[in-house]
Amino acid sequence: MSSSLSSETRVESGRETESDTVPGPILLLGAPGVGKGTQAKELVKYWNIPQISTGDLLRANVAEGTKLGIAAKEIMARGELVPDSLVDEMVAARLLEPDTARGYILDGFPRTLGQANWLDGRLAAQIEALPVVAVSIQVVYNQLLRRITGRRNCPVCQTIYNVYMRPPQREGICDVEGAELVQRADDTEEVFKERMRAYEALTRPVVEHYRALGRFAEVDGDRPIPEIAAGIVSAVERLRQPA
């Protein structure tokens, strides 16, 4: 956990320890580029629970050439959503891993009402499982466009740069590894627009679903990373308090 998140959270909660809340399943929601992946990594450090990113799991399947990867590859390249049945099955397998016992951070799932209903049903059937709490990260459209189209990754150490906001010292080269930076195939403006369309049509109803259930909070994503993370932590702790 970053020290700023730690100290800020202590100030907010007045606690000596990092957190005594059992986090349970936490769902990070938000449009492409709001920083779900970045925030998930902060929360992993804070609660010591895994990040489950369906985008990362799907990309790994594509890279390995599995049956799922072959089915998903073209769909992902167009910025469309992979069918619920395939994604649900992949998540079900991941949730069987023992590291999910105290909780986990779902990053990029559920993205449709069908996936949300599947997840809620699965958790309701497990007596010991806490229900999902959902936190939506808000960032305005033009800012998202710059974040997505400017994003470059180091293929070796996975450091994420942005050509507009966090450029490397030498153009196109990782500061740490000296490797040539790469752009995700779906981080172009054209594919971004399709991903935003899919978000508005299919994922916005998921936000409304969890809002209606009262297990929902919104945080402003246009702030320094530790401040956003502290906002998510306090939202989750509030949502986990007994009614």
- The contact set with ligand AMP (CB under 6 A) reads 32, 54-55, 58, 75-76, 79-82, 87, 108-109, 111, 115, 186, 195
Exposed/middle/buried for 211, CB within 10 Å: 0-12, 13-18, 19+?
middle
**Catalytic pick from 41, 59, 94, 111?**
111
Q: How far is the CB of 155 from ligand AMP (least distance, A)?
A: 16
111 in active site:
yes
**Catalytic pick from 59, 94, 151, 240?**
151
Q: Which is nearer to ligand AMP, 7 or 138 (CB)?
A: 138
Q: Which is nearer to ligand AMP, 41 or 111 (CB)?
A: 111
Rounded Cα gap, residues 76 and 95, in angstroms: 23
**Catalytic pick from 184, 204, 211, 215?**
184
Q: How far is the CB of 141 from ligand AMP (least distance, A)?
A: 16
Q: How far is the CB of 176 from ligand AMP (least distance, A)?
A: 22
10 in active site:
no
C-beta of residue 107 within 8 angstroms of C-beta of residue 28: yes
Q: Which is nearer to ligand AMP, 6 or 115 (CB)?
A: 115
Closest to 241 in 3D by CA, of 39, 23, 5: 23
Rounded Cα gap, residues 174 and 76, in angstroms: 26
Closest to 169 in 3D by CA, of 157, 155, 181, 184: 181
Q: How far is the CB of 107 from ligand AMP (least distance, A)?
A: 7
Rounded Cα gap, residues 182 and 202, in angstroms: 29
215 in active site:
no
36 in active site:
yes
Per-residue HEC secondary structure of 86-118 comes to HHHHHHHHHHCCHHHCCEEEEECCCCCHHHHHH
Q: Which is nearer to ligand AMP, 15 or 78 (CB)?
A: 78
Catalytic residues, by residue number, are 36, 111, 151, 184, 195
